[in-house]
Amino acid sequence: MSGYLSKMAEQKFEEVVLVHDAKTGLKAAIAIHSTVRGPALGGTRMWAYPDERSAVEDVMNLARGMSYKSAAAELPLGGGKGVILDEPATEKSEPLFRAYGRFVERMNGRFITAADMGVGEDVLDCIRMETDHVIGGSALGSPSPFTAYGVWKGMKACAEEVFGSPELKDFRVAVQGIGTVGRALCEHLAGEGAKLIVADLDKSKTDMAVELWDAKAVSCEDICKQECDIFSPCGGGGAVNEETVAQLNCKVVAGAANNVLKEDKYGSVLHERGILYAPDYIINAGGLIFVEHSRQGGKGVDEIKADIARIEGRLKDLFRRASEQKMLPAEVADRIAEENMKEKLDHSLPG
C-alpha cells in the first residue's frame, strides 16, 4: 500500500480506513476526502475487485469525486465513499452488512453512506440497524431515477452546445449499462423519441431494452464503437480509457457513471477529436441532490426535481466559461468545485 499517504497529502484527503471483521469475513474501505463543506456523504458499493489495491484506489477516486460533486452542486456536504470487497468467500448476509454498519458508526457522523453499485435499499436497511449515518433504504426509495433525470437534462445542454437544439428526438444514444440508473435514463430518452443502442453484461437487461424501446443491443466490447450522437456510460468507471478513446464514434460523452475518464488526459484527447465531454460529477449529481434533500427534509418530489433540473443550466454555463477561457469543460468544473470548497474553508477560518 506504499504511496497512499503521499496521494492523500497531494489530494488533500482527510482519512482512509481499511476495515475487517473476522466473524463475517468483511473486507472494506472507507475514504473521507473532505468535510470542509459538511459531512462526507457518499454511497457504498460492493464490487469484485481484482485485488485489494484496486479497491483502495477506487474508493479514493470516488470519494474525491464526491467532494467535487457536492461542491459543484452547492450542497452543504463533503465527499466520502465506501467499498465492500465482493470475494468468492464473501457471504452477502445481514451479519456482514451490519458489521459494515458498525464501522460506519465509528466514523461518528463524519461519513454518511447511501446506495451504490451492488448495495441496494435492502442492504441499507441492514446497515441502518447499526448506525443512523445512512440515507436511503426501503422507506425512502432509490436515488437512481433522480440521477437519471439529471443526466437526461444534462444531455439537453450538451445537445444544444453541439447541435444547436436541446431536443433529443431521433438522436442515437449508446447507453453502456442498463442498471437502475441506465434503465431510468433509457425511459426518458425513449419517451422523447431517441434511438437507443444498449449494452450490459446481463443479457436479460438488453433483451428488455429491445422489447420495451426497440433498442439495438450490442456487446459490451462494441458499445464504444457504435456510430451515435451521444455515448452514455452508466456502469463502472474508466469507460474512456487508452483503448476506447480511439474507438468512440460520437459527438458527446455524457453519462451517469462516476470517473468516466480513466485518467484526466483523456479529456484533452476527446477535445482534440471534437467530442464534447460533460464532466461526470456535474451531470450525474441528481441522485446526490435527492439524497441531501431527503436528509434535510422539507421538499417534495417536484421541488427536488426542479433543483435537479438546474444541472442543465450549470452545464450551459460551464460550456460557456470553457469557451471564453479556452479551457476544457472538465478543467472549468474542477475550478468551480475547488472555488466552492475554498470559499467554505475561508469562511470557517477564525479571524
Query: Over 50: is that where the pLDDT of 351 sits?
Result: no
**7, 12, 27, 81: which is the annotated catalytic residue?**
81
3-state secondary structure of 14: coil
3-state secondary structure of 260: coil
Digit-coded pLDDT (tens) for 106-130:
999 999 999 898 998 999 999 999 9
Residues 182 and 316 grouped into a single domain: yes
Give the pLDDT of residue 236. Answer: 87
3-state secondary structure of 349: coil
Q: What's the mean pLDDT in 9-16?
A: 94
Residues 189 and 327 grouped into a single domain: yes
286-296 and 52-72 helices, crossing angle to 10°: 70
Digit-coded pLDDT (tens) for 179-234:
999 999 999 999 999 999 999 999 999 999 999 999 999 999 999 999 999 999 99
Residue 97 forms part of a structural domain: yes
Query: Over 50: is that where the pLDDT of 349 sits?
Result: no
Residue type for position 259: N
Query: Over 50: is that where the pLDDT of 150 sits?
Result: yes
Digit-coded pLDDT (tens) for 17-54:
999 999 999 999 999 999 999 999 999 999 999 999 99
Q: How confident is the model at residue 335 (pLDDT cuts 50, 70, 90)?
A: very high
Give the pLDDT of residue 225. Answer: 97
Residue 207 forms part of a structural domain: yes
Instruction: For residue 97, give the C-alpha cell.
Output: 452488512
Give the pLDDT of residue 295. Answer: 87
Residues 219 and 269 grouped into a single domain: yes
Q: Of 59-68, 257-266, 317-326, 337-346, where does mean pLDDT reach its minimum? A: 337-346
| Distance in angstroms between the alpha carbons of the first and the last residue of the chain | 39
Q: How confident is the model at residue 347 (pLDDT cuts 50, 70, 90)?
A: low
Give the pLDDT of residue 188. Answer: 98
C-alpha 221 chain-centroid distance:
22
The domain of 99 spans: 4-61+78-128
Q: What's the mean pLDDT in 130-154?
A: 92
Give the dihedral sign, CA 176/157/117/15: positive
Q: pTM of the full predicted structure?
A: 0.88
Residue 226 forms part of a structural domain: yes
Residue type for position 35: T
Residues 151 and 106 grouped into a single domain: no
3-state secondary structure of 142: coil
Residue 297 forms part of a structural domain: no
CA nearest neighbour of 125 among 147, 103, 101: 101
Q: What's the mean pLDDT in 85-102?
A: 94
Give the pLDDT of residue 288. Answer: 94
Q: What's the mean pLDDT in 319-325?
A: 97
Query: Over 90: is that where the pLDDT of 137 sits?
Result: no
Q: Provide the pairing of β-strand 195-199 with 216-217.
A: parallel
Q: How many domains does the chain have?
A: 2
Q: What's the mean pLDDT in 56-80?
A: 96
Residues 110 and 248 grouped into a single domain: no
Q: What's the mean pLDDT in 75-79?
A: 96
Query: Over 60: is that where the pLDDT of 269 sits?
Result: yes
Query: Over 80: is that where the pLDDT of 315 sits?
Result: yes
3-state secondary structure of 53: helix
Residue 156 forms part of a structural domain: yes
Percent of the chain with pLDDT over 90: 87
Average pLDDT, the chain: 94
Task: Give the integer Cα–Cα distance in Å for 116 and 102.
Answer: 18
Instruction: For residue 348, give the C-alpha cell.
Output: 470557517
Residue 180 forms part of a structural domain: yes
3-state secondary structure of 27: strand
Residues 82 and 192 grouped into a single domain: no
Residue 351 forms part of a structural domain: no
Question: In the annotation, is 326 catalytic?
Answer: no
CATH number where 106 lies: 3.40.50.10860
Kindly write down the DSSP assignment for every residue of 298-329, as one continuous string: ---HHHHHHHHTHHHHHHHHHHHHHHHHT--H
Residue 204 forms part of a structural domain: yes
Residues 115 and 148 grouped into a single domain: no
Residues 151 and 214 grouped into a single domain: yes
Query: Over 80: is that where the pLDDT of 1 sits?
Result: no
Give the dihedral sign, CA 208/211/212/218: positive
Query: Over 90: is that where the pLDDT of 343 sits?
Result: no
Residues 193 and 122 grouped into a single domain: no
Give the pLDDT of residue 345. Answer: 60
Give the pLDDT of residue 346. Answer: 60
Instruction: For residue 71, give the C-alpha cell.
Output: 461542491
Residues 198 and 236 grouped into a single domain: yes
Residues 216 and 110 grouped into a single domain: no
Give the pLDDT of residue 82. Answer: 98
Q: How confident is the model at residue 139 (pLDDT cuts 50, 70, 90)?
A: confident
Give the pLDDT of residue 294. Answer: 87
Give the pLDDT of residue 119. Answer: 93
CB 226 within 8 A of CB 215: no
Residues 173 and 211 grouped into a single domain: yes
Task: Give the integer Cα–Cα distance in Å for 340 and 288.
Answer: 17
